[in-house]
């Protein structure tokens, strides 16, 4: 795909037609199957990013392909004036997985799932909100107000709402910030976008106690951690924590766009008729895909598989004892390789050159979020290639430093 100018054709076309918000992509992909992706030149890549924790069942999984094809051939869209089977069935299934009665609102993305949570919070009559520094909750204006990353927020200030961002994992800071005026606290069980940051044990339980004491809603953003990613349907189930609102997206649709906002107890009744909506909410094709994802996770025992594969990956990286690796953190198949130096961008490029897709989620953290179906062979291939990738990254960083001197 390289043209005569040395620029790649897809990059030139992208630059001519697309808004610049994403930057220019480094690769054009044309096909995927299982954990493998192919570019236009026929080069194969082992996918350890999973479309940023989206492709739960990998690429072109037969169950998703069948569910989507059958549903679009039967009924593709009905509007919110009517209902179709997959929509209600998916809501019932999600509530069953949560193990509690409640209500579900479907949307099209993670940010939208959090926008609905924001509006639920507003309906308590309280206006103060608490989120965490570094937390990522999306890029629409309400979700961006909750996101605790000033560089993403400041260009769009003023943002809606009275939001305090407290240090993540700090129980006392949370306790000090939450009052009887606080509508909700929003937290990720593991901060994904902020570098796969795991809070201390008991943090979510403490958040539950603090919010319960002030009548504040606890919103758990499980957009990245939910649907099996950590080896549980919901990451907070590990600590037995039950939130008032849980938001989902990413892995739920198996590659199709869907968000879900689950609300329990009194929070489930705060969105009254006419108070919220979206044309595509509960689209039957997307809901059929999500049902295929849930069925497959259940049928193939993928929650246990994620725990085993995640442990193989984590212990395998530790056993390499590579000097560029400081530590590994995360849960299940959401792992961050913390580097001793800010080498992650170079490592991402070196990995791609070696046929591995990973993500530099912070200057010194490589994020791994492979499909939940990742095999032992895939993990071993990754472990075999990783030392060379890190060596190359170090050489590239040294070269950049020398040329900058």
Ligand X SMILES: Cc1ncc(COP(=O)(O)O)c(C=O)c1O
The reply to whether 138 sits near ligand X by the rule CB under 6 A is yes
Contact call for residue 234 and ligand X (CB under 6 A): no
The pair of three-digit structure tokens given for residue 279, joined into one six-digit string: 């044309």
> Judged by CB under 6 A, how many residues of this single chain contact ligand X?
14
Of 304, 182, 184, 145, give the one whose Cα is nearest residue 232.
Answer: 304
The secondary structure element, H or E, covering residue 132 is strand 128-132
C-beta separation of 57 from 251 below 8 A: no
Contact 258, 288 (CB under 8 A): no
Q: By CB under 6 A, is residue 224 in contact with ligand X?
A: yes
Apex 164 CA angle, 163 and 168, nearest 5: 125
Instruction: Indicate whether 189 belongs to the interface with ligand X (CB under 6 A).
Output: no
Is 34 or 199 the residue whose CB approaches ligand X more closely? Answer: 199
Give the residue among 188, 198, 189 at the shortest CA–CA distance from 328: 198
Q: Which one, 333 or 379, has the nearer CB to ligand X?
A: 333
Residue 46 contacts ligand X per CB under 6 A = no
Residue 170 CA to residue 160 CA, distance in Å, equals 25
Q: Which is nearer to ligand X, 84 or 224 (CB)?
A: 224
Cβ closest to ligand X, residue 369 vs residue 389: 369
368 binds ligand X (CB under 6 A): no
Annotated binding site: 110-111, 136, 139, 221-224, 278-279
Q: Could you tell me which residues are beta bridge partners of residue 44?
A: 38
- Residue with the CB atom nearest ligand X in the bound state: 110
CB closer to ligand X, 118 vs 136:
136
Can you read off the two tokens belonging to residue 205?
């339980």
Catalytic hit among 136, 184, 234, 382 = 136
Closest CA relative to residue 193, chosen from 24, 400, 365, 46: 365
| Segment interacting with ligand X, rule: CB under 6 A, options 38-46, 72-80, 107-115, 349-357 | 107-115
Cα-based distances in Å from 29 to 36, 39, 51, 65: 11, 4, 12, 19
Decide if residue 109 touches ligand X (CB under 6 A): yes
Respond yes or no: is residue 250 known to be catalytic.
Answer: yes
Specify the pairing of strand 44-47 against strand 36-39.
antiparallel
Give the pair of three-digit tokens for residue 65.
């392909």
Using CB under 6 A, which of the segments 88-96, 136-144, 170-178, 323-331 binds ligand X? 136-144
Nearest approach, Cβ of residue 88 and ligand X (Å): 23
- The DSSP bridge partners found for residue 260 are 106, 248
**Is the CB of 192 or the CB of 199 nearer to ligand X?**
192
Can residue 137 be called a binding residue for ligand X (CB under 6 A)? yes
Q: Which residues are annotated as a binding site for N(2)-acetyl-L-ornithine?
A: 139, 278
Residue selected from 111, 260, 362, 372 as contacting ligand X according to rule CB under 6 A? 111
290 binds ligand X (CB under 6 A): no
110 binds ligand X (CB under 6 A): yes
**51 belongs to the binding site for ligand X (CB under 6 A):** no
| H-run or E-run covering 162 | strand 162-166
| Binding window for ligand X (CB under 6 A); candidates: 124-132, 218-226, 279-287, 304-312 | 218-226
H or E, element range at 304:
helix 302-320
The residue from 10, 250, 378, 382 that is catalytic is 250
Taking residues 193 to 212 in sequence order and writing x for each that binds ligand X by CB under 6 A, - otherwise, the string is x-------------------
CB of 56 to ligand X, least distance (A): 14
Can 221 be counted among the known catalytic residues? yes
Sheet holding 365-368, edge to edge: 325-331, 334-339, 365-368, 359-362
Q: What is the DSSP string of 336-368?
A: EEEESSS-HHHHHHHHHHTTEE-EEEETTEEEE
Token pair recorded at residue 60: 């072109």
- The one segment of 217-225, 298-306, 352-360, 389-397 that binds ligand X by CB under 6 A: 217-225
Distance CA 12, CA 9 (A): 5
Give the interface with ligand X as residue ranges (CB under 6 A).
109-111, 114, 136-138, 188, 192-193, 221, 223-224, 249
Show which residues are catalytic: 136, 221, 250
């Amino acid at each position: 795909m390289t043209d005569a100018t040395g620029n790649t054709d897809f990059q030139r076309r992208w630059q001519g037609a697309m808004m610049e918000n994403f930057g220019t992509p480094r690769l054009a992909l044309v096909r995927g199957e299982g954990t493998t992706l192919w570019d236009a030149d026929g080069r194969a890549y082992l996918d350890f990013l999973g479309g940023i924790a989206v492709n739960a069942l990998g690429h072109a999984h037969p169950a998703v392909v069948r569910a989507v094809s059958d549903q679009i051939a039967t009924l593709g869209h009905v509007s919110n004036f009517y209902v179709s089977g997959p929509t209600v069935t998916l809501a019932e299934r999600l509530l069953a997985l949560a193990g509690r009665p409640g209500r579900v609102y479907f949307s099209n993305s993670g940010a939208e799932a959090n926008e609905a949570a924001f509006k639920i919070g507003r309906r308590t009559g309280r206006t103060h909100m608490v989120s965490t520094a570094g937390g990522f909750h999306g890029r629409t204006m309400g979700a961006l107000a909750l996101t605790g990353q000033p560089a993403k927020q400041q260009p769009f200030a003023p943002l809606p709402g009275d939001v305090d961002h407290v240090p993540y994992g700090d129980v006392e800071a949370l306790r000090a910030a939450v009052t009887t005026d606080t509508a909700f606290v929003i937290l990720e069980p593991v901060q994904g976008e902020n570098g796969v940051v795991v809070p201390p044990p008991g943090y979510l339980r403490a958040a539950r106690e603090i919010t319960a004491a002030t009548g504040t809603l606890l919103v758990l953003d499980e957009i990245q951690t939910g649907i099996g990613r950590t080896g549980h349907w919901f990451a907070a189930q590990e600590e037995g924590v039950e939130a008032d609102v849980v938001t989902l997206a990413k892995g739920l649709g198996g590659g199709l766009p869907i968000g879900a906002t689950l609300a329990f107890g009194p929070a489930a009744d705060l969105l009254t008729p006419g108070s919220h909506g979206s044309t595509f909410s509960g689209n039957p094709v997307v809901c059929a895909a999500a049902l295929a994802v849930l069925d497959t996770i259940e049928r193939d025992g993928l929650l246990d598989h994620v725990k085993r594969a995640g442990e193989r990956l984590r212990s395998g990286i530790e056993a390499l004892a590579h000097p560029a690796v400081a530590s590994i953190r995360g849960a299940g198949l959401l792992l961050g390789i913390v580097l001793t130096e800010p080498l992650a961008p170079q490592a991402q490029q070196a990995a791609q050159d070696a046929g591995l897709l990973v993500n530099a989620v912070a200057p010194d953290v490589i994020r791994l979020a492979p499909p939940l179906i990742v095999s032992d062979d895939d993990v071993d291939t990754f472990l075999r290639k990783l030392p060379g990738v890190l060596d190359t990254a170090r050489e590239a960083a040294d070269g950049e430093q020398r040329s900058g001197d």
